[in-house]
Amino acid sequence: MTTLTTTEETDGFPENTPNLHTNLAQLEAIFNARLKTDYVFMNWWVGTFLMPWVTLGIYFYYRHFRNIHRRNQHLQRTRAFYSTLAQVLRLLPQASEKLTGQTAELLEDYEIRLGSKEAIAMAKPVHWKIWAWGEVLYSLSIIALFGIGIALAFSHVDPASAKKQIAFLEPYNDLISLINLSLSIYWYYLYKRLLEDYIPMDLLEAKLLSYVQPILRNFSNNDSRTLLPSFEPQCRPRNFWLHLLLLFPTLGINFLYLDYCCIHEAQRRFKESARVQYRILQAVKKLAEPSANEVTTS
């Protein structure tokens, strides 16, 4: 990519050239960040049926946390990519002559869509810390009660006194059960978000492409090198409550199906999004080339 750094290097070029290449570099950096945000888990069968036993159940919780975390990062990175793209489009050398009429309206509609409350809310992070700290509290409570029970079993006290002490602990068992119920409800809320949040992002990205494609074609005089692929949605709507009701008749097997969908549909979306964004990046870099007159610096 061309980089212009000094006044002498930019002399004679369009006034917006340094800003254009700064934004292009930022756009490329956001695209490359997908390697950190759109990561793939190990084989689902191994991670579901082997790793929890090897790690005493820790891996299952770790994967759930990472699944939420990559959802947050991916949606934020995707919105940042298209926000930066709007800045790049306005700075392209062709924009000074061709960003008029219908093309200008398309870009304005694109920015309105990107700045809508729905698009902003979609990219907001899902808060997993409530669930994580709740799990810590639940685990500590179980360990504490188990330790007290062991201590009473090996202490030299008469049976009547031991029975009273155990009866004293029963309300705490009810409290732990309540904590566990609350965590289970929040756990399923997180799965509901993981199943649902990629679907509107699929639709948003497809809609944004419908604005970007004619703008790029107009800027390039219908150059085929700026032709973008259509975005194919990878996540399909599911009735979460129906799956929740099926959890009991299927003895929990339906939960494994939900987990599989959460992971694999997201990974398919990552690949499709990267494919489209790569073509966008190549197209705008091609359109930016004349602004630098093929000048490069070491």
Look at the chain and report how many structural domains it folds into. 2
Q: How many Cα atoms are found within 13 Å in the side-chain-facing hemisphere of 97?
A: 7
User: In this structure, are 135 and 181 located in the same domain?
Assistant: yes
Q: Are residues 113 and 133 in the same domain?
A: no
Q: Considering only CA atoms, give the Rg of the chain.
A: 27
User: Same domain for 164 and 215?
Assistant: no
Of the CA atoms within 13 Å of residue 201, those in its CB half-sphere come to: 29
Q: Could you tell me if 222 and 112 lie in one domain?
A: yes
In-domain check, residue 297: no
- The verdict on residue 1 lying in a domain is no
The one-character DSSP state at 248 is: T
Co-location of 32 and 152 in the same domain: no
- What range does the domain containing 229 cover? 7-118+198-292
Q: Are residues 279 and 211 in the same domain?
A: yes
Same domain, 20 and 138: no
Q: Provide the pLDDT confidence category of residue 162 given band limits of 50, 70 and 90.
A: low
Residues 24 and 100 in one domain: yes
| Per-residue model confidence as pLDDT tens digits over 90-140 | 998 888 888 888 899 999 999 999 998 888 888 888 877 766 766 666 676
Predicted TM-score (pTM) above 0.85: no
pLDDT digits 0-9 by tens, 218-249: 998 888 888 899 888 888 887 777 877 887 78
Strands (E), 62-164: none
Verify that 167 and 256 share a domain, yes or no. Answer: no
Please identify, among 167, 196, 225, the residue that sits at the C-terminal boundary of a domain. Answer: 196
Who contacts 238 (Cβ-Cβ below 8 Å, separation ≥6)?
A: 195, 261
User: Which token pair is 121?
Assistant: 């809310």
